Each structure stands twice: as structure tokens, then as C-alpha cells.
Structure 1
Amino acid sequence: MSDTVVMTPTEIEAFAEEMLVAAGTLPQNAAPLARAIAAAERDGIPSHGLMYLPTYMEHVRCGKVDGKAIPVVTTPKPGTVVVDAATGFAHPAIAAGFPALVAAARTNGVAAMAVRNSYNCGVLGFHTEAIAVEGLLGIGFTNAPASIAPVGGKRPVIGTNPFSVAVPSGKRGASLLIDQSASVVAKSEVMKRAREGEAIPEGWALGPDGEPTTDPAVGLKGSMAPAGGYKGFGIGLFTEIMAAALSGATLGIDASPFSGTAGGPPKTGQFFLAFDTDTPSGGAFSQRMEALSAAIEGAGDARLPGARRLAARAKSDAEGVRVKASQLEAIRN
């Protein structure tokens, strides 16, 4: 008998919400996180989907994240929204500030939202795409516990620290979606290989001695390799400035790990920018982006950033998402 079952994204969302509530999360906090988990599975990003659900549940139970936290939203200035996640999940905190961010961007032409005392926000592009769905250009940053050492150093100073850009499209929400970390790959991919006992390609991580390794366990004890060397570290540092320093969140060097039960709440942060594209461009933004997108797609065997997710999304909607029954049972247990 096959261990694989087929679920719709809606069924995955309902299952994830039920499990989060069972672990001690308020329903209103579980709902936005469950939506993001289902979206990750739908878009072919399982490392941030059901695979991460047991960690979320474990962290609620051990107190690393407060499943009953109530986010506090303030607007200290017309174009600035600040959300205190109160050591709860990032997803309900971001969702709580989202209406104010969108309204401010439409009124002022641009608006910013800082989220502090937060947690792992999962797939960053999930949040920037939500801004694009509103017809706004969305840019996002999120920091993470330190896992990347500066070039020439051995001690991690910044996290994998992704940034994301979502370009609005009236037809499909985001016509172009960039979502990339400062490391060669997301740390979750190395953790996945470690759990499965598989080697990692050389260049993904460095051991404690600063040398490349193909052993994921050794890499997890050392540091992730920055994408593009010092340039990748620079991108991660930029994100750290935006998501931690500018948001008033905890720096990656002081944040507890997103995995395991050691330490208290990580209190990391996120920072989002939303732009009305027509005002600064004189209404030319969509035309310029169409020309730019056409040039990328016409440059040979190339695809737009985010195209793979859209293809996976379409397949999931047509055929459902294949999930291991044993994985579901392990989560229930």
C-alpha cells in the first residue's frame, strides 16, 4: 500500500490549523500560519510546509513561541506601521498590521511596516505576494538566528536573512516574485539532508574550521556559505539592518535558534515596504515591467523569478498535493 495521500490545499490548511490549536495556539493565531503552510505545500516548498509543522507545535508547547500572544499594532507616523508580535507567531502579527500598511501606502504612495519580538515568518514571498495582490509593489526583509560567518571569519554573525520583492499583476497577484536568502541555500535544506542522512553539495556550508564540508551535521555546527561570497554576506547584512536594527528586533547574534527547544523566544523581526507604483512612475510601471519580463523570458532558456512556484501551484490545484500518510500520523501523534 502506498504511503502517499493526495490532499487539497484547503485540506492541508484545515489539518495544520487543527494541529496548531491542539498544541495550544489560539484559533485566530493558528489560521494565518496554517494558510502559509498550505501555500508552501501548494507552491512546491515542502521544507516550509507540513515538514515544519511539528517544530511550530513543539515551540508552542515549550514556550519558545506564545501561541496565545495578541499582536499590538501602532501607527506612530502616517507612513509607518509598527507591530509588536509579543513573542507570538510572525504570521498573525504580519496579518494584524497588513490592513494599516496597505491603507497607508495607498494614501501616501509608500508605507513601511516593522515587526518586532517576532519569530520565523516561513516563506517570505508569501507575505510580499499578499502586498502585490493589493496592487502594490511589495518588498520584505526578515532576519534569523546567526548562521553565516563573514568572509574570512568562522563565527556566524548574521542569519540566512532573505529578502523578497513581489511585482503586482492584475491577472495573477504577483507577475514576478524574488525570494532569496543570503546563503547559497536555505538552512532548512541542510537540516532536511541531515535528518535524511544525505550528503550536501560542496559549497552549501562550512564546518567550524571555516572549510567547506559535504556533511550536513558538520555544516550545522559551523556556518552556512554566503551566496556570492562577500556580496552574499553584504545582502544578509543589509537585511539584518532592515529587519532587526530598523525594526527594533533582536539581532541574529542574540536570537535563539528556530530549531530545537533551547533558549527562549527568538524575538527576531521583519520589515516590509509597500509602494503605489503609478505615482512615481507616472503610470508607466506596468509597461516597463512587461518589457523587462519579456526580455528575461526571451533571453534563451530562462524563466521569471517565481515562475516555478506558479507552475507548482497550478499543478497542485489540478492534481492535489501528495503528502506522506506517515508524516500526517507523526504530526497527529
Structure 2
Amino acid sequence: MKKTLSIAEAQRLAEAALIAAGTAPENARPVARALVAAEASGQPGHGLSRIPSYVEQVRTSKVRGGAVPSAELVKPGVLRIDAGFGFAYPAIELALEKLPAMARANGVALAAIGRSHHFGQGGAHCERLAENGLVAMIFGNAPKAVAPWGGSRALFGTNPICFAAPGPEGMPPLVIDFAVSRVAKGKIMAAERTGKSIPEGWALDEKGQPTTNAADAMKGTMIPIGEAKGAALAMMIEVLSAALVGAHFGFEASGLFDGKGEPPNLSQTILAIDPGVTSNEAYWQRIAVLFEEIEQTDGARMPGSRRLEAREAATRAGLSVPAEMYRDLLLLAGERSEETGI
């Protein structure tokens, strides 16, 4: 069974659920906005399925719902942001407000976000910088899920690579966003919550055996893309986020799917580059050549193009979510009683 929600209604319910758990309204807004945007972009693993675990973590103070992120300009092109063990999204909002002017003044700018949390659909954060004419990357780590190649013990997160660049005039930005595991762990979490199986090849169980059971996969390890290369990329992003910022590595961080333990103390590094400065304004002509060449190649698709199709469909027809997810949202928002079903 499915329930169709408008984007506005999904945003309202997500925000209400977070506020009911103790999240400050000014924090609930960007968190809910990010989750709904992920759902609308066809990324449900970073979408509304996260609400129950977010709520549980706020209730246990694993996430500080009232945390106010603070920023310190430590060098002309370097911004250090303390998320205060709160949600990542308000801290990222602060970074995205300040980075464009810094990048234009210096050619390149970097924000280092510490004491943070799950940062969701990373490509969407880069996309906003690309819409401001900047080439952007965000590196962020996650709790352990991937083993070093040849090992069986998870040490690294699924640590996505997220990138966006301005397109030619009148074209949307190029957005590339993929986890270094074959899929993002949020997809497995979403399958577990709805009782669905997962395809073979996504994960291994606790004994290192392939599994299609989402619950077993959550207890095991994720299979990296490109085998040894994917595991190496996961380690690289641990350095570019946790080591660079001074936060926890994936094997030190507590989990993101329940309220147990201390705050995960994750980190994000956002890089913004002014392509006009680096290319002496040649970027715009060169990116147009690249886009045109891809468009003229039979069968080729621009990376990230499906997200635009998904957003258009969601705007037009609403979000189709599992009925149990809708029920959970109502319960958490205080709009339905578990006992009466009303």
C-alpha cells in the first residue's frame, strides 16, 4: 500500500515530527527540507525513512536538537564550523551561506564541519553551490560499514563522493553523487523498515556471506564498488573528512540508525572553487563543449539526470511513500494515536 503526499505536506509532517521530539524549529526546517528533497529526487534512503531514527536520537540526546552551529573564519579561504553535536543540515546551511563570497574573493574556499551527523544527499549541497556558479565537492564520513580490501571487519563508512559543477547557460548543473559501497546504506535501512529484501551483491552478513536479508545486511558489511578501488576511496574520504577536520573515523563513530551511544561526531569538508578565476573565464565555453559532446553520443545520459526527472514527477504528482511510513510520520507528529489508529 502506498500513500501520496504533496511535497508541502511531507515537509510539514517531517518538521512536526522533529519538533515533537525536541528539535528546535529553526533546526527542524532545514532537516525536514533536506529529507523531503532527497525523497523527491529519488533517494529514499536519505529521505523520510530517516525520520524515526532521527526522532529517537533527538529524544536520547544523541543528536542535540537545539544545537546552534557556529562558524569561525580561521584563514581567508578556510571556515571552521562546529555543528555542536546537532544535525548536519543547519551547519551545512551556514557553510553554503558563506562559501560563495569566500570562493569569489580567494578563488577557492573550504568549510570544515566538525561534531556533525548524517549529511544525507551530499550532491544536493554541492548542487546549490553550482547554482551559484561554483564547482563544488563535499566529503563526509559515516559509521563503519565497509571493510578494508582483504579484511572482514568494517572500518570505513560508505563515504560518498559528491560533486557538482555549473552547466552551460540555461542548463542545470552537472551533479555526481555516489557511495563507495555498491549502494548507500540508507537503501538497506529503508528495505529493513518496510520488510523488503535487497538484491544480492549489495552486502554481506556478519559471517561474511552474501545476503538478501536487509536486517542481516545491517549487521554485516557493505560491498565496495570496484572492490579494492572502492575500499581505497572509502579510506581517502575518511582522511578528507575525519582526519582533516579532527573528528571520529567511521570505526569510532556510533551508529546513525538508533538512539544508543554518544553522538557520532562525524565530519564534512566542503570545497568551493570559482571556475572563472582558475580558467581565466574559459570554463563556460569548455563546459558547453563537454555537455554538447555527451548529448551527441548515442545512448549517453548525463550523470544525475534521473534526479531531475524524479523531482519533476514529485512536484507534479506528489511523493508516493509506503503506508507504514505515512503512519509513522503521523504518530511521530502527534497526529495519530497508536492505540486508536486515529
TM range (shorter): over 0.9
Match of 2:203 in 1: 205
CA deviation vs aligned residue, 1:3-22 (integer Å, no higher than 9, x gap): 52341x23322222222111
Following TM superposition, by how much is the alpha carbon of 1:300 offset from its aligned partner in structure 2, in angstroms? 2.6
Cα distance in structure 2, aligned partners of 1:328 and 1:171: 40
- State how 1:152-301 maps to structure 2 within 5 Å: 152-169=150-167, 174-301=172-299
Relative contact order, higher structure (CA 8 A, sep 6+): 2
What is the count of residue pairs matched by the alignment? 331
Partner residue in 2 for 1:37: 35
Match of residue 17, structure 2, among 16, 19, 22 = 19
8 A Cα contact 1:166 1:174, kept in partner: no
Conserved? CA contact 1:110–1:276, under 8 Å: yes
Is this contact kept in 1: 2:127–2:173, CA < 8 A?
Answer: no
User: CA separation of 1:172/1:194 partners in 2, compared to 1, >3 Å: closer, same or farther?
Assistant: farther
What is the CA-CA distance between 1:289 and the residue it aligns to? 1.8
CA RMSD of aligned residues (A): 1.8
2:26 equivalent among 25, 28, 46: 28
Which residue in 1 is equivalent to 2:3?
A: 4
- Cα deviation digits, residues 63-118 of structure 1 (max 9, x gap): 11000011111011000001010100000011123222221101001000000100
Unaligned runs of 5+ in 2: 332-342
Q: Distance in 2 between matches of 1:318 and 1:218?
A: 37
Give secondary structure in 2 for the equivalent of 1:273.
strand
Within 2, Cα distance between the matches of 1:55 and 1:209? 26
- Is the partner of 2:166 in helix, strand or coil? strand
| Cα distance in structure 1, aligned partners of 2:170 and 2:255 | 35
Q: Cα offset for 1:189?
A: 1.5
Cα distance between partner residues in 1 of 2:327 and 2:202? 32
Which is worse superposed, 296-305 or 113-122?
296-305
- Normalising by the residue count of structure 2, what TM-score does the alignment of the two structures yield? 0.91
- Tell me which of 320, 323, 327 is aligned to 1:322: 320
Q: Which residue number corresponds to residue 337 of structure 2?
A: none
Q: Secondary structure at the match of 1:76?
A: strand
Question: Following the alignment from structure 2 to structure 1, what is the Cα–Cα distance between the partners of residues 169 and 93?
Answer: 23
% identical equivalent positions: 42
The Cα shift of 1:170 comes to: 6.9
Return closer, same or farther for 1:317/1:172 CA change in 2, 3 Å cut-off. Answer: farther
| AA partner of residue 4 (structure 1) | K
From 35, 50, 53, give the equivalent of 1:52: 50
Q: Structure 1-normalised TM-score?
A: 0.94
Q: Residue in 2 aligned with 1:83?
A: 81
How far apart are the structure 1 equivalents of 2:228 and 2:244? 22
8 Å contact from structure 2 (residues 4, 318) kept in 1: no
User: Contact between 1:154 and 1:222, CA under 8 Å: does it hold in 2?
Assistant: no
Change (3 A) 1:6 1:13: closer
Match of 1:72 in 2: 70
When residues 38 and 179 of structure 1 are mapped into structure 2, their CA distance, relative to the original with a 3 A threshold, is same
Inter-partner Cα distance in structure 2 for 1:173 and 1:299: 18
Query: Which amino acid letter does the alignment assign opposite residue 247 of structure 2?
Result: A
Corresponding residue number in structure 2 for 1:143? 141
Letter of the aligned partner of 2:4 in structure 1?
V
1:255 to 1:205, Cα distance in 2 relative to 1, 3 A: same
Deviation (angstroms), 1:140: 0.6
**Partner letter of residue 32 of structure 2?**
A
Q: Which residue of 2 aligns with 1:131?
A: 129
Conserved? CA contact 2:147–2:221, under 8 Å = yes
CA positional deviation for 1:142? 0.8
Distance 1:246 1:128, change over 3 A: same
Equivalent pair of 1:5/1:322 in contact (CA under 8 Å):
yes
Runs of 4+ in 1 over 6 A off after TM superposition: none
Letter in 2 for 1:5: T
CA distance in 2 between counterparts of 1:67 and 1:298 reads: 49
Rounded Cα–Cα distance in structure 1 between residues aligned with 2:304 and 2:84: 32
Letter in 1 for 2:264: P
